[in-house]
């Protein structure tokens, strides 16, 4: 477990800061998972679908673009987009640069859902950060931007799947 850094007389070591960050990110992921299950924020779209829809809304895109931007396997992006299409939240249009491909855009309903979820998420964040001053919010926002930039540019290795081992028969 980690000790809080705020009340220490001297600046913490990089290792101590990393330990706190590691634990707090784990805890944050847990809180976000609980939020998605217990709140009405995601009653019309799940968290993964919301991120895909926001990415599509940022500019009409092809499925391969969505996969690349979000760091998803193309088959995963295809499945998530299919769910959004079935729900009527995304529509396909022709790609003027490639007649074989299509471009995705939010439907009218998709745009409404996107705006509603964004509004609810921001209201929740405002409530959670109510006692934070502007400087603390801005510093936190900059830290998140920097962390996400590092995650985006990190040279992720391909996932290594352990080789299957043959069962041995010792007689």
pLDDT at 141 over 90: yes
Q: What is the mean pLDDT of residues 55-80?
A: 91
**pTM of structure:** 0.79
What digits encode the pLDDT tens for the residues 15-64?
999 999 999 999 999 998 898 888 889 889 999 999 999 999 998 689 99
Q: Determine the 3-state secondary structure of 92 from DSSP.
A: strand
DSSP strand pairing (90-94 vs 102-106): antiparallel
Residue that wins the pLDDT comparison between 91 and 7: 91
Among the residue ranges 3-17, 36-50, 154-168, the one predicted with the least confidence is: 154-168
Q: Name 96's Cβ contacts closer than 8 Å, sequence gap at least 6.
A: none
Residues, the chain: 171
What digits encode the pLDDT tens for the residues 83-120?
999 999 999 998 888 878 889 999 999 999 999 999 99
CB 42 within 8 A of CB 50: yes
Q: What is the mean pLDDT of residues 61-78?
A: 92
Confidence (pLDDT) at 59: 86
Q: What one-character-per-residue DSSP string does 14-39 give?
A: HHHHHHHHHHHHHHHHHHHHHHHHHS
Residue spans of the domains in the chain: they are 14-43, 44-152
Confidence (pLDDT) at 105: 95
The class level of CATH for 44-152 reads mainly alpha
pLDDT at 156 over 90: no
């Amino acid at each position: 477990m980690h000790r809080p850094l705020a009340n220490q007389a001297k600046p913490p070591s990089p290792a101590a800061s990393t330990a706190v960050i590691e634990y707090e990110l784990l805890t944050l992921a847990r809180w976000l998972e609980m939020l998605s299950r217990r709140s009405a924020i995601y009653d019309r779209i799940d968290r993964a679908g919301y991120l895909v829809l926001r990415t599509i809304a940022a500019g009409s895109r092809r499925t391969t673009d969505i996969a690349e931007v979000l760091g998803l396997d193309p088959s995963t992006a295809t499945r998530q987009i299919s769910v959004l299409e079935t729900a009527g939240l995304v529509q396909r249009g022709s790609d003027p640069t490639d007649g074989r491909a299509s471009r995705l855009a939010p439907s009218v309903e998709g745009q409404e859902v996107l705006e509603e979820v964004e509004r609810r998420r921001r209201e929740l964040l405002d409530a959670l950060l109510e006692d934070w001053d502007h400087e603390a919010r801005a510093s936190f926002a900059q830290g998140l931007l920097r962390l996400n930039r590092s995650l985006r540019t990190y040279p992720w290795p391909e996932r290594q799947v352990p080789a299957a081992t043959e069962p041995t028969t010792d007689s």
